[in-house]
Chains A and B, each alone.
Chain A
Amino acid sequence: MAVTYQLIETITVGSGGAASIAFASIPQTYTDIKVVMSLRASDTATQILLSLNGSTSNFSARFLIGDGSTVQTGTLARYVGASTPSSFTASTFGNAELYIPNYAGSANKSYSADAAVETNATGAYLTFVAGLWSDTSAITSLTLTGNTGNFVQYSSASLYGIKNS
């Protein structure tokens, strides 16, 4: 049976924290790629943002965010979702997934993402994002950056390759 879902690399943040996590020299041998994240921030309002091939231009994204009592929509270029802020229950990490189909193709690159912030309380955040990078380049590197603070120790991101056969 063909292997259609394969771990490429995992990054785990060390004791010093990291503002940004990046995968370089992504192999071009898969159909789609997916990043699975477990993130906690050192700041109270850190959002996860995407850049591809070192570019932060020509992105657009729409998102849906719920906090347990209300649902809102918004737009923010390069948005992936929220990471668990430092003000939430200690040692909890949020879960997020980013999926990019046809990442090695020659069309513009769409992406989808969802993220769940973790805390031992009734109010947390769940986000769903639909995004577009209006660029036809094959994706060879992918960077996830917090807009403030650091991702704390033991935060991690794993890059998977998906094949259609």
Chain B
Amino acid sequence: MATKLVVDCSTGITTEVELTDEEVAQREADAAAWAVELAEREAQATAKAEAKASAEGKLAALGLTADEIAALIS
């Protein structure tokens, strides 16, 4: 069972208690929310990398050298 350490700042006493059902449910929701957020960031990063590769390909097709393309995008 997952637990929580709680220190009472008025007494300095620390107690260990089990997470409530509500807290467990919140953790599960938090884990799901992080997974969604991570997937969104990875999708954005992939899209950005693909767009960059596409743009570089189009510049190369126009006759720019690799050094010229690097100079443009750096």
> Which A residues form the contact surface with B (CB < 8 A)?
8-11, 13-14, 16-27, 45, 47, 49, 56, 70, 72, 74-78, 143, 145-148, 150, 159
Contacts and interface: CB of A to CB of B under 8 A. Distances in A.
Interface in B1-26: 2-12, 14, 16, 19, 23, 26
B45 interface: yes
A22 B6 contact: yes
Given A20-B23, A47-B34, A159 B9 contact: yes
B34 A147 contact: yes
Interface residues of B, number: 26
Interface of B: 2-12, 14, 16, 19, 23, 26-27, 30-31, 33-34, 37, 40-41, 44-45
Contacts of B16: 14, 16, 18
A67 to B, nearest CB: 11
Contacts of A77: 33
A13 B37 contact: no
Given A20-B5, A25-B10, 13 more contacts: A9-B7, A19-B2, A22-B6, A24-B6, A24-B7, A25-B9, A47-B30, A75-B37, A76-B34, A76-B37, A145-B4, A147-B27, A147-B31
B40 to A, nearest CB: 7
Contacts of B2: 19-20, 150
A20 B19 CA distance: 8
A19 B3 contact: yes
Nearest to B11: A25
Contacts of A17: 3
Nearest to A65: B41
Contacts of B9: 8-9, 23-27, 159
